Amino acid sequence: MSERIAGNSGGKGGTSGGKGGTRGGKSNVAGGRVGGKTEDSLKEKTRGFVEETIKKPIAHCVRSREKENDWTIIHAIVNGIVKHDFPEEIDLRTGNNWWEIGDQNHTGSCTAWAATDSLLRWHLVRAKKINETERLSVQFTWMAAKETDNFVTYPETFIENSGTPLKGALNVLKKYGAVLEKHLPFGGRITDPQMDAETFYSIASLFSINSYYSIIKEYDVNLDHLRMWLASIGPIIAMTDTDWNFRNYDNGGKLDFYDLTTVVPDTGHAIAIVGYTKNHFIIRNSWGTDWGDNGYAYASNDYVAAAFCEGYGIWV
């Protein structure tokens, strides 16, 4: 359940701390009212969300834990990795026609799509470690993140809509790396049944990340920090609790106003931020090209500041 709604991480057993369901000093849950709406109204919105997503992907990313010791963008600036200066606009799609939009279908794999397909693949192609035509296995990152999540005490690898935190996927990419889609396709199994674990993980180690840095923490969104990272390093993975504007397939990708009253439980979603202008940021999704502007959206500065609760960049 979204911390913006009820002050816990939903599905991960226990409270996540942080702001405890408050924002700007006003409780989102008070006196039986949620965001100015009654509980009955929220239930109605929840039913509406279920109906609207019957034929759409599942939005189910959950909050990361143990973030207090994360390296931050301040560390990256001090270390000289990130520069203070940034151009007026950046579009990381430019010249990267190979960077197709993925489709997670009816699964809760958004975190793996954002981390593996949107971030790591972009970096590996740029570093010429893989070819433009090669794709990384989202399936591996997704399954491995769920299997190695120490905060879940029950089996859930086989549960399609079980949520995955951003750090769960990033820790997999850091510790184990990634394999190619041809080794483990999305929704499938290892293509070579004779491949042993040693061979599999030796391949994965070739495509790992060195580290990751926290850029958005507990709704503390510094827009210039986002621009610095995008200009100096590359795309950013971020989590949002989706509102109606985001879930609406027919808005042409315009995210101008974050409507907190339409956020419903368990709609945490991972995306990638892949560019910016003076007035908006470019959002890359994994709901296919029917969503937004061929799979992308343009979120206003105000929308980004209100909607995104955590975000990370990777260093390869």
CATH value at residue 108: 3.90.70.10
pLDDT at 69: 85
Alpha-carbon distance 298 to 281, whole Å?
6
Residue 201 has pLDDT above 50, yes or no: yes
Residue 296 has pLDDT above 90, yes or no: yes
pLDDT at 46: 47
pLDDT tens, residue by residue, 127-137: 999 999 999 99
Closest CA to 236 of 251, 215, 263, 260: 215
Average pLDDT over residues 196-200: 95
Residue 190 has pLDDT above 50, yes or no: yes
Q: Indicate the pTM of the whole model.
A: 0.80
| pLDDT tier for residue 148 given thresholds of 50, 70 and 90 | confident
* H-run or E-run covering 213: strand 211-217
Residue 132's identity, in one-letter code, is: E
| pLDDT tier for residue 26 given thresholds of 50, 70 and 90 | very low
Domain count for the chain, please give it: 1
Residues composing the chain: 316
The residue segments making up the domain with residue 211 are 3-315
**DSSP conformational letter for 287:** B
pLDDT tens, residue by residue, 203-212: 999 999 999 9
pLDDT at 267: 74
